[in-house]
Amino acid sequence: MTTQPIKTVAPKPAPVWRHHHILDVDDFSREEIELVFNTTQAMKEVLSRPIKRVPALRGKTLITLFYEPSTRTRLSFELAAKNLGADAASLSAPASSVTKGESLIDTVSTLQALGADIIVMRHPHSGAPYIAAQYVKASIINAGDGWHAHPTQALLDLYTIQEHKESLKGLKAVIIGDILHSRVARSNIWGLTTMGAEVTLCGPPTLLPTELGEQNHHLPPTNIEHDIERALDGADVVMTLRLQLERQQSGLLPSIREYVQLYQLTEARLSLARPDALVLHPGPVNEDIEIASAVAHGPQSVINEQVSNGVAVRMALLYILAGSQKQ
């Protein structure tokens, strides 16, 4: 198989890049996010070739370690690694020695002993990737930890938005739904504000984080709007979040029906946003709960583009990380 080199198209990772691990985007600079965008553009060119492969990560080993289910994140990392010539293996915690009581630290140490250069991990507990990062030389990529962060999802969301808009600066971005339990929302709040967008959060008071407002030590400033019509007025970007249906059982929602009435993104509500507003959703989607089917599949939806861009953005991140490991 012949492959064309990537060096002709991808910018050099140094000196902007400072990270050995990717744990969140809260410590990413605008220049680092722009480096990810530029490198993603080069990866999209690779993916447009008849042979969608380059040997940039030949000799590297990536292992995905997932303690929670995933479709998009896990598969796109595995595809990204293979497209770059890396060896990729996956471990699902429920089918591993974790079920025999093996600790997180012993598990990641074992993956490193098996030759992992990069470990992509998803864990139900916020902070778990930060602990793992203290015990291994391999780069840890956070693929979602508890309610805390999902940095690669945010980066692919930002990339998808900037593909359609000239710049993120000055855009009005509205995030609607269960923000309290959303790692996607938290990472997007950081990424969007770093890139100069104005963020409005919209949802019932019980589903908004308590660290917002005066006690906010952990998130950049955002607008809060409980009324969805007012939130959508003039929006450039509308991001809906999956309603985690178990929230009704935990008493945070009176009923799903009431939530749908008050917060579903319908065609009528979307018409209050700008005519060229983009509709995003990280998936998986509860169609006709947080978003009407007609909107999810409508002309303003970029949900499938988010999924496709996920492969290119993750290729870019692996390429940049591997470049920084050599230094």
- Number of chain residues interacting with ligand CP (CB under 6 A): 9
Stretch binding ligand CP (CB under 6 A), from 3-11, 53-61, 67-75, 263-271: 67-75
**Nearest approach, Cβ of 192 to ligand CP (angstroms)?**
17
**Nearest approach, Cβ of 239 to ligand CP (angstroms)?**
12
Q: Which two tokens stand for residue 135?
A: 């015990």
Stretch binding ligand CP (CB under 6 A), from 57-65, 281-289, 297-305, 314-322: 281-289
85 Cβ partners below 8 Å, 6+ apart? 3, 53, 54, 55, 56, 57, 58
Told to check if 283 binds ligand CP by CB under 6 A, we report: yes
Question: Which C-beta is closer to ligand CP: that of 13 or that of 310?
Answer: 310
Residue (of 148, 169, 4) closest to 68 by Cα position: 148
**Nearest approach, Cβ of 149 to ligand CP (angstroms)?**
12
Contact 200, 173 (CB under 8 A): yes
Question: What track of x and - describes contact with ligand CP for positions 284 through 323 (by CB under 6 A)?
Answer: x---------------------------------------
Question: Which C-beta is closer to ligand CP: that of 10 or that of 121?
Answer: 121
C-alpha distances in Å from residue 13, one per residue of 21, 53, 84, 133, 320: 14, 19, 16, 21, 5
Question: What track of x and - describes contact with ligand CP for positions 72 through 101 (by CB under 6 A)?
Answer: xx----------------------------
Question: Which C-beta is closer to ligand CP: that of 272 or that of 307?
Answer: 307
Stretch binding ligand CP (CB under 6 A), from 98-106, 161-169, 278-286, 316-324: 278-286
Q: Count other Cβ atoms within 10 Å, centred on residue 237.
A: 27
Told to check if 282 binds ligand CP by CB under 6 A, we report: yes
Question: Which C-beta is closer to ligand CP: that of 56 or that of 145?
Answer: 145
Q: Count other Cβ atoms within 10 Å, centred on residue 29.
A: 13
Question: Which C-beta is closer to ligand CP: that of 17 or that of 67?
Answer: 67
Question: Which C-beta is closer to ligand CP: that of 6 or that of 237?
Answer: 237
Told to check if 129 binds ligand CP by CB under 6 A, we report: no
Q: Which two tokens stand for residue 103?
A: 């600790």
**Nearest approach, Cβ of 306 to ligand CP (angstroms)?**
8
240 Cβ partners below 8 Å, 6+ apart? 176, 177, 265, 279, 280, 281, 290, 291
Rounded Cα gap, residues 250 and 160, in angstroms: 34
Question: Which one of 39, 40, 64, 70 is in contact with ligand CP (CB under 6 A)?
Answer: 70
C-alpha distances in Å from residue 60, one per residue of 117, 322, 326: 6, 8, 11
Q: Which two tokens stand for residue 239?
A: 């991001």
Rounded Cα gap, residues 172 and 197, in angstroms: 6
Told to check if 146 binds ligand CP by CB under 6 A, we report: no
Report the b/e string of 115-129 with b at 16+ CB within 10 A.
ebbbbbbbbeeeebb
Residues interacting with ligand CP, by CB under 6 A?
70-73, 144, 153, 282-284
